[in-house]
Each structure stands twice: as structure tokens, then as C-alpha cells.
Amino acid sequence: MYIAMNRFKVKNGTEEAFEDVWKKRDSTLNQMKGFREFHLLRGPVNEAEGYTLYASHAVWDSFDDFSAWTRSENFRNAHKNAGSSKASYVGHPQFEGFSVVEGA
């Protein structure tokens, strides 16, 4: 199993616009071989630095399945309007990928 995560620092006051982009997107992840599940997670608010932390969390059967997704037309379509929302970001999203060592 492989877990792909992106961390987003969303400027305070633009969280609703950020969440709306995800809620209203036309996702085709479930059409991809090896896709298991997806979650958008809202983390803590960092008042001192002015952002709310979010993470996208996708679970795949394998790294190869995830990698195939990143090279697919579905991936290109899903990301073609990235950055065009009213949400404002602090820096760029940070990708983190994990191979599962043990799980229940």
C-alpha cells in the first residue's frame, strides 16, 4: 500500500474557498487502478503565521498505481485549474509519499 499526501498552508480567511474547490471538483480517482480512498484533512490554525494547515490524503494499492495516476489524463484534468481559486496559499504544496510498512 502507498499513501500520497500533499500539505497546503492556506491563508486565514480563504479556507472556505479552498474547501469549496475540493468539494466541487469532478474527481475521477475512483476510475484509476489501485485507488482505495481519499480524504481532505483540515489541521490546526497557525495564527502567528496566518494560515490553516490542510492535507490531502490518498491511499493506493501500490506506488506503481499512484505513479500511473500522476502520468494519466485524469491527473492532468484534475489539476488543470490548480491555483485558480480564491484561496490564497502560503508557499507551495508539499508532497509526502509513504510506503506502508505495517497496517491493520
- What pLDDT is attached to residue 26? 77
Give the tens place of pLDDT for each residue, 16-51.
999 988 888 878 899 999 999 999 999 999 999 999
Which CATH architecture group holds 2-99? 2-Layer Sandwich (3.30)
Q: Between 80 and 86, whose confidence is greater?
A: 80
Cβ–Cβ < 8 Å for 97, 3:
yes
DSSP string, 25-83: S---GGGSTTEEEEEEEEEEEETTTTEEEEEEEEEES-HHHHHHHHTSHHHHHHHTTTT
Entry pTM: 0.85
Q: What is the CA radius of gyration of the chain?
A: 14
Residue 47 backbone dihedrals phi, psi, to 5 degrees: -60, -40
Closest CA to 6 of 99, 93, 100, 69: 93
- Strand order across the 94-99 sheet: 35-46, 51-60, 2-11, 94-99
Task: Give the pLDDT band of residue 82 (cuts 50, 70, 90).
Answer: low
